[in-house]
Amino acid sequence: AQSVTQLGSHVSVSEGALVLLRCNYSSSVPPYLFWYVQYPNQGLQLLLKYTTGATLVKGINGFEAEFKKSETSFHLTKPSAHMSDAAEYFCAVSRGTGNQFYFGTGTSLTVIP
Amino acid sequence: GAVVSQHPSWVICKSGTSVKIECRSLDFQATTMFWYRQFPKQSLMLMATSNEGSKATYEQGVEKDKFLINHASLTLSTLTVTSAHPEDSSFYICSARVGTSSYEQYFGPGTRLTVT
């Protein structure tokens, strides 16, 4: 079975500070991992994904995430937070091609000016 | 590319009526579409998987007679909430997968349903 745990339902950072959003997964097979961002009353926008290959993945808007198999983690980071980063972030795991997504409970990011 | 649209983006209906939500893949053919439900401040919960030309597969606990899903073409899936009640008020999001072997899902912008 697949599952995703996002530690911290709310994270607040100061503008310019490091953003770290945590995601741990469980999967009986090599997972495909995704981070999505959702702004109020909007759908999901893909930030980045890991399927195979390099474990450090760079995405849009300066975000990146590192797949650590030994820790079963896929934490999302950004060196310097911007006000426009305030949104809800979802980590998701897929079992691979053709399989459904399982979403974490989400982390609401607040950026303090 | 890979744009998914939903219509309407926002709908209010009276209790007891039915409402249909459309999900379209605009620039690709989607063999499989997914329907999710999202309550305020919560995550997305998969409701059903819709395959073109066949019956939808519903997740446990989702009433198939209440949430009717039709995937009649490779670019359109519809979700009909029948006899809607206030507890059906939610944000409904669809996604579409390119081909049968792709891991990518492209999400629509969502439909806000309010039942009064």
Q: What is the pLDDT of residues A20-68, one digit of tens each?
A: 999 999 877 778 999 999 988 788 899 999 988 899 999 999 999 999 9
Structure tokens at A52: 């195979």
pLDDT band at B116 (very low <50, low <70, confident <90, very high): very high
Q: How far apart are CA B41 and CA B34, in angstroms?
A: 20
Structure tokens at A21: 């959003």
Which one of A44, A100, A106 has the shortest CB-CB distance to B46?
A100
pLDDT digits 0-9 by tens, A68-96 = 999 999 999 999 999 999 999 999 998 76
Measured between beta carbons, the chain A residues lying within 8 angstroms of B97 are 98
pLDDT, residue B8, reads 96
Helix (DSSP H) and strand (DSSP E) numbers for chain A: 0, 12
pLDDT digits 0-9 by tens, B37-73 = 988 878 889 999 998 888 899 999 999 999 999 988 8
Contact A99, A36 (CB under 8 A): no
Say yes or no: B93 contacts chain A, CB-CB below 8 A: yes
Residue with tokens 């990518």: B104
Distance from CA of A106 to the nearest CA of B (A): 6
Measured between beta carbons, the chain B residues lying within 8 angstroms of A36 are 107
Distance from CA of A92 to the nearest CA of B (A): 10
Measured between beta carbons, the chain A residues lying within 8 angstroms of B44 are 44, 90, 103
Contact A41 B112 (CB under 8 A): yes
pLDDT, residue B72, reads 82
pLDDT, residue A70, reads 92
How many CB atoms sit inside 10 A of residue B26's CB?
Answer: 12
Say yes or no: A51 contacts chain B, CB-CB below 8 A: yes
Q: For residue B8, is the peptide bond before it cis, meaning its omega torsion is within 30 degrees of 0? A: yes
